[in-house]
């Protein structure tokens, strides 16, 4: 009897032990599964859900000195296209390592989107970004790749009240509202109202395209030698049904930010080609039409295909089309720019460098890109009469343009004195209010018949 009791007790102890082991194993497996669900497979960092959970606990723990930073890999798609998807994946892993390097005790890191990494840190946010930058650069040994790898950082400092989701949304808003030239942007309360306004503007711009509220105005380009109009620059105008006339500087940068510029510029390209062809059909003296191409348009679309399509659709000969690009654009993604502009140029389309003298004034891009025209920026032209240095710089630009067999055009010519000096310096073409402001197509037509040489001194 006693033996039976001992056996039963032993069996129960064993059973309880086995049960406890089974429960522990199940719990461990569950925990591991949960861990899998909270982690990003590729980088091993917390994923979005995991980051939010950990972030919530950290904030509930009562820490107030925290900031949330989101690092957004810039143009990952382009990196994939240029270097292949494997290198794109490497870049993702490098970002993950760089964010993790910055992390100190109590900080939380995560991959919160395909190309977004988050850091909830007790460190000063700007210092954290600086450390991230140097960690990132130190990890990329391929110079070509390093040139293409960029990021934007959105920062929101914890105010002691927000929950993790609000904090995240605010940091994310900094990325949505960023200006292309700002690498780091910090949340300010006015961003929320601007975001609402921008959303409205975005849908208004799409309506404007659909309802035909955009119009191209044209500004003549005049030959110093003959006084003839050799070309016109197409400049967009928005006739807003309520706000009235909106100048391009007020909506083009936003259209770039919203990604709508590609549609606007495509419309502009076709409309300008069509107008130019129509003037020819009407029997007016043939002129070249030039179209501005934004950097975003260049980065996001196949500009060569758009140009071919516009020429085919309208029947305009390539020699009557000119594409204006800025220096900054030519400096970004140089290899691709050289290739695409080279292809466009070989169609017989002219290429001009806009706003020369304002950006880096890169001589290297002048060597590699087949520019036909150099447009001297208005900022140099406007104080030509008073400023000896501007005069010398302009003279040097003209000499350089000639040496490189380009035509040199002076922008923003407003006075006869400026025109006289530019003629003396040896400019080929002039554009500015002295000759004409940008005008609707119907008003430019009369000018195409009447020469403007009376204005040239």
* Footprint of ligand C2E (CB under 6 A): 219, 235-236, 247-249, 252, 265, 268, 292, 294, 354-355, 378, 412-414, 432-433, 438
CA pair distance 298, 328, nearest whole angstrom:
12
Residue 355 as a binder of Ca ion (CB under 5 A): the answer is: yes
User: Which residue is associated with the tokens 């030039």?
Assistant: 290
Q: State the alpha helices, DSSP H only, in 301-359.
A: 303-314, 327-331, 334-346
Strand-strand pairing, 350-356 and 108-113: unpaired
Task: Check if the beta carbon of residue 283 is closer than 8 Å to that of residue 245.
Answer: no
Q: Give the residue at shortest CB distance from ligand C2E.
A: 432
Confirm or reject binding of residue 265 to Ca ion (CB under 5 A). Answer: no
438 neighbors 411 (Cβ within 8 angstroms):
no
Residue with smaller CB distance to Ca ion, 204 or 355: 355
* Whole-number Cα distances in Å, 99 to 133, 136, 411: 9, 8, 46
Residue 354 touching Ca ion (CB under 5 A): yes
Identify residues 283-342 at the interface with Ca ion (CB under 5 A).
292, 324
Contact (CB, 8 A) for 307 and 266: no
Nearest to 184 by CA among 113, 123, 252, 127: 127
Taking the least distance from each CB to ligand C2E, the nearer of 290 and 365 is 290
CB of 324 to Ca ion, least distance (A): 4
> Judged by CB under 5 A, does residue 352 bind Ca ion?
no
Count of C-beta atoms within a 10 Å radius of residue 392? 11
Asked whether the beta carbons of 106 and 122 are under 8 A apart, the reply is yes
Q: Which lies closer to Ca ion via its Cβ, residue 152 or residue 435?
A: 435
Q: How far is the CB of 282 from ligand C2E (least distance, A)?
A: 23
Backbone φ and ψ for 393, nearest 5 degrees, come out as -60, -45
Question: Nearest distance from residue 40's CB to Ca ion, in Å?
Answer: 44
List of residues 6+ apart from 439 with CB closer than 8 A: 217, 218, 219, 447
Nearer to ligand C2E, 300 or 378 (CB): 378
Rounded least distance, CB 412 to ligand C2E, Å: 4
CB of 272 to ligand C2E, least distance (A): 8
Do the beta carbons of residue 307 and residue 345 sit within 8 Å?
no
Q: Name the token pair of 316.
A: 């305009």
Nearer to ligand C2E, 248 or 451 (CB): 248
383-422 footprint of Ca ion as x/- string (CB under 5 A): ----------------------------x-----------
State the nearest-atom distance from the C-beta of 262 to Ca ion, in Å: 18
Nearer to ligand C2E, 43 or 418 (CB): 418
Partner whose binding site includes residue 249, from Ca ion, ligand C2E, none (CB under 5 to 8 Å by kind): ligand C2E
When the beta carbons of 116 and 355 are compared against Ca ion, the nearer one is 355
The Cα–Cα gap between 114 and 119 comes to 15
Q: Which residues pair with 374 in a beta bridge?
A: 353, 408
Kindly report the backbone phi and psi dihedral angles of residue 308, in degrees, each rounded to the nearest multiple of 5, phi listed first.
-60, -45
Enumerate residues 6+ apart whose C-beta is below 8 A from 129: 69, 153, 155, 184
Give the residue from 220, 177, 259, 241 showing the smallest Cα distance to 432: 220
CB of 293 to ligand C2E, least distance (A): 6
Shortest Cβ 270–ligand C2E spacing (Å)? 11
The CB-of-188 to ligand C2E minimum distance in angstroms stands at 27
Q: Which is nearer to ligand C2E, 126 or 378 (CB)?
A: 378
Tell me how far, at minimum, the Cβ of 393 lies from Ca ion, in Å. Answer: 16
Q: In Å, how far are 103, 144, 295, 339 from 333, measured between CA atoms?
A: 32, 10, 10, 10
Tokens representing 448 are 């195409």
**Between residues 109 and 292, which has the closer beta carbon with respect to ligand C2E?**
292
Residue with Cβ nearer ligand C2E (165 or 245) = 245
Question: CB atoms < 10 A from the CB of 157, how many?
Answer: 19
**Residue 248: which of Ca ion, ligand C2E, none does it interact with, CB under 5 to 8 A by kind?**
ligand C2E
Would you tell me which residues interact with Ca ion (CB under 5 A)? Answer: 292, 324, 354-355, 411
């Amino acid at each position: 009897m006693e033996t039976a009791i001992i056996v039963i007790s032993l069996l129960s102890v064993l059973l309880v032990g086995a049960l406890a082991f089974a429960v522990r194993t199940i719990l461990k497996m569950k925990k591991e599964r949960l861990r899998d669900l909270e982690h990003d497979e590729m980088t091993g960092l917390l994923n979005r859900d995991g980051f939010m959970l950990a972030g919530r606990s950290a904030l509930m723990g009562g820490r107030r000195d925290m900031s949330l930073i989101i690092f957004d890999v810039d143009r990952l798609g382009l990196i994939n296209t240029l270097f292949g998807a494997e290198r794109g994946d490497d870049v993702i892993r490098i970002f993950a390592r760089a964010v993790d390097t910055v992390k100190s005790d109590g900080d939380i890191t995560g991959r919160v989107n395909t190309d977004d990494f988050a850091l909830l840190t007790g460190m000063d946010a700007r210092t954290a970004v600086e450390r991230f930058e140097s960690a990132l650069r130190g990890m990329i040994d391929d110079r070509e790749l390093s040139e293409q790898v960029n990021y934007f950082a959105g920062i929101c400092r914890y105010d002691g009240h927000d929950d993790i989701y609000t904090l995240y949304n605010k940091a994310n808003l900094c990325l949505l509202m960023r200006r292309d030239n700002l690498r780091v942007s910090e949340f300010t309360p006015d961003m929320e109202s601007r975001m609402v306004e921008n959303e409205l503007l975005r849908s208004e711009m799409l309506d404007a395209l659909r309802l035909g509220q955009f119009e191209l105005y044209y500004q003549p380009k005049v030959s110093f030698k003959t006084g003839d109009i050799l070309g016109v620059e197409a400049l967009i105008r928005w006739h807003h049904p309520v706000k009235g006339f909106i100048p391009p500087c007020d909506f083009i940068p936003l259209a770039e930010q919203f990604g709508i510029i590609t549609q606007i510029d495509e419309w502009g390209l076709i409309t300008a080609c069509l107008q130019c062809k129509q003037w020819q059909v009407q029997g007016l003296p043939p002129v070249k039409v030039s179209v501005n191409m934004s950097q975003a348009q260049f980065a996001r679309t196949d500009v060569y295909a758009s140009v071919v399509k516009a020429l085919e659709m309208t029947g305009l000969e390539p020699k009557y089309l000119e594409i204006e690009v800025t220096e900054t654009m030519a400096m970004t993604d140089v290899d691709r720019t050289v290739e695409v502009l080279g292809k466009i140029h070989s169609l017989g389309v002219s290429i001009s460098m806009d706003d020369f003298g304002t950006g880096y004034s890169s001589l290297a891009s002048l060597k590699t890109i087949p520019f036909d025209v150099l447009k001297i920026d208005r900022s140099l032209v406007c104080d030509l009469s008073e400023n000896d240095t501007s005069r010398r710089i302009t003279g040097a630009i003209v000499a350089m343009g000639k040496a490189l067999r380009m035509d040199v055009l002076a922008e923003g010519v407003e006075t006869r004195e400026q025109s006289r000096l530019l003629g003396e310096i040896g400019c080929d073409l002039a554009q500015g209010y002295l000759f004409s402001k940008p005008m609707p197509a119907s008003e430019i037509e009369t000018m195409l018949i009447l020469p403007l040489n009376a204005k040239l001194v």
